[in-house]
Structure 1
Amino acid sequence: MAGGQAMTARRIDARARFLPVGDTAFAVEFGDRIDPAINALVHRTAALLAEARPEGLVETVPSFRSLLVHYDPLRTSAQALQAFIGALELEDEAGQAPPRIWRIPVLYGGEAGPDLTEVAAATGLSAAEVIALHAGTLYRVYVQGFLPGFAYLGDLPEALDLPRRTSPRVRVPPGSVAIAQRMSGIYPVESPGGWHLIGNTPLRFFDPARTPPTLFTPGDGVRFVPVGADEHAAIREDVAQGRFVPDVEGAPA
C-alpha cells in the first residue's frame, strides 16, 4: 500500500462501462483520458482475467483507457462474460509505485538526437534543460504497439509537449529516443517515424528469441539516464556480446 494508506475495492461494473465491438468482442472502458490511475485499472483487469480464465474468453487487448475482450460466442455470451467481469473487484491503485523501474542509458543530442536543438528552440528551453526535464521524469509504460516492443511512455512534462513532426522520417535508427505530445518512446527497430528524436539508447527492446520478447511490460516504470558517447559505445558493445544487463529498480516499500 502506498504511503501506508488503505485502498478501497469496488466492483468493475461500478467503475467501467461495457461497449459492444462487433459480434465477438466488447470493450471495458474505464475513462475518457490518458491517466495513470485509469491505465492501472485496465491492466489489473487484464491480469485478473488471465488468472480466472472464464469460460469462452479468447484474449484481452489493453489500451490507454480500456480493455478489449475477445470471446468465443459458441462457449459464452457477451452478457455472461460482462456479468463475470463486472463482479470482479479492483482496488484503487492511484499513487502506487510501478512494480519495477527500468533505468535506460541515453546519449542525448548530436547524431544520436538530431532534433534536440529544434525541440529546445520550439519549447524556449536550452538543450540542457530539455535533457534535464526528459531524464528527470519517471515514465509509465501505458501500452505497447505500432512496432513490436515500442512502448508509449507517459507522461512527458508539459513544457516538452510538441506535435509530431510535419515531415516524418522514412528511416529512424533503432534505439532512437523520441517525444511527441505528452509521450516519449523508443524505436525498437529501424522504421519510419514522425516523433522528435532527442537521443539514442543502445539497448534492445524486442528480441523474438527472448521470453518475453519485449523488454518492457505495461505498468512498468522507466527512467532515462544521460550517458556520454564513450559509455554509450561501450554499452552497445556489451549488448552485442550479450554481456549487458539492464538496471532495474524495485518498487519502493
Structure 2
Amino acid sequence: MTKTIEFDWQLVSETSLHIHFDAPLSRTLSQTIGTIAQVLLSQHNDSIMNVTPSHNTLLIDYLPYRISPKVLILSIDSAIRHTSNTQTDKTHEVVLPAYYHPEVGLDIHQYEDKGLSLAQLIESHTQASYYVSALGFAPGFAFLAGLPRELTLPRLTTPRVHVPKGTVAIAEQYSAVYPDDSPGGWNLIGRCPLALFQPQAQPITPFSIGGQVRFTSISRKQFLDLGGELSSDTPHSNSHR
C-alpha cells in the first residue's frame, strides 16, 4: 500500500477552496492531483464550477448552495486513499518532435558557453522522462518536470516580447513548449511542429496533470514536413529580451 498523501485546506472565498498537499514534488504527486481533479469533476459535476490543479495544490470553485466544503474534503480524502491503493505508472506518454538548432533556439549558445555541445544538449533533453506538474500561463502550456540538472538555466531577467508558437524552452527545473505566439522569459532551445492547443478539438490539449512526456529530435526537413514554421520575426539579439 502506498503511503497516503496528507493535505490541508483553506477557504479563500465564499465559493473557492484551496487544497495544499503535504508531499515532495514528484510524478506520483502530480498523478494523484490529476486523478483527484477528475474524480471531483465526475462526482460533483452539478456543484463544482472549476478545478485548477498545480504543482502541489488544487483550487476548487464550487456552488455553496449545492455542496459544502465538508463534503468536498471528504471526497478528496476518499479519492486520495483510492488513488494511493490503485495507482500505477502506466500513464499515456505524449511524444513531442523537436527541431533543435540555433535558428529556432536562440539560447543554445548559453549551453555552448558552459561547454555543452548542441549534440550533448539534444541527447540530454531527449533522453529525459518528463511529467506534467502544472498547466498554466497560457492555454496548453505545460510545466514539464524531470529536466536533467545539467540543463537548468534561470529565467531571463527581462522576458522577450515575442516567442513563436511551438518553441521548446527551459527555465529553472522545467521544460515546456509555447503553444502559441506570446511573450516569454524562458530559454529557447528548439521548436515543435505540433499544435498543442486546439479549442475545437477533444481533448483541446494532449497534456494532463501527471501525464508523461518525451521529446524526440527531428531534422529541419522533418520539422517543415510536419507543418512547422520558421518565423522571420524571431528576435536575434539581447536587445529584444
| TM-score normalized with structure 1 length | 0.81
Which residue number in structure 1 is paired with residue 236 of structure 2? Answer: none
- Mark the CA change 1:97 to 1:79 in structure 2 (over 3 Å): closer, same or farther: closer
- Mark the CA change 1:98 to 1:199 in structure 2 (over 3 Å): closer, same or farther: farther
Which residue number in structure 2 is paired with residue 20 of structure 1? Answer: 11
Rounded to whole Å, the distance in 2 between the matches of 1:158 and 1:144 is 22
Where do 5+ consecutive residues of structure 1 fail to align? 1-6, 238-253
Which residue number in structure 1 is paired with residue 152 of structure 2? Answer: 161
Residues 1-253 of structure 1 aligned to structure 2 (within 5 Å): 7-8=1-2, 10=4, 15-31=6-22, 33-53=24-44, 56-88=47-79, 89-92=81-84, 96-122=88-114, 124-236=115-227
CA apart distance, 1:188: 0.9
Instruction: State the aligned residue count.
Output: 228
CA apart distance, 1:94: 10
Rounded to whole Å, the distance in 1 between the matches of 2:171 and 2:73 is 36
RMSD: 2.4
Whether the 8 Å contact between 1:58 and 1:70 is mirrored in structure 2 is yes
Which segment is superposed worse, 70-79 or 170-179? 70-79
Where do 5+ consecutive residues of structure 2 fail to align? 229-241
Whether the 8 Å contact between 2:47 and 2:63 is mirrored in structure 1 is yes
Whether the 8 Å contact between 2:41 and 2:48 is mirrored in structure 1 is no
- Mark the CA change 1:97 to 1:76 in structure 2 (over 3 Å): closer, same or farther: closer
Rounded to whole Å, the distance in 2 between the matches of 1:84 and 1:150 is 28
| TM-score normalized with structure 2 length | 0.85
CA apart distance, 1:119: 2.8
Rounded to whole Å, the distance in 2 between the matches of 1:205 and 1:74 is 37
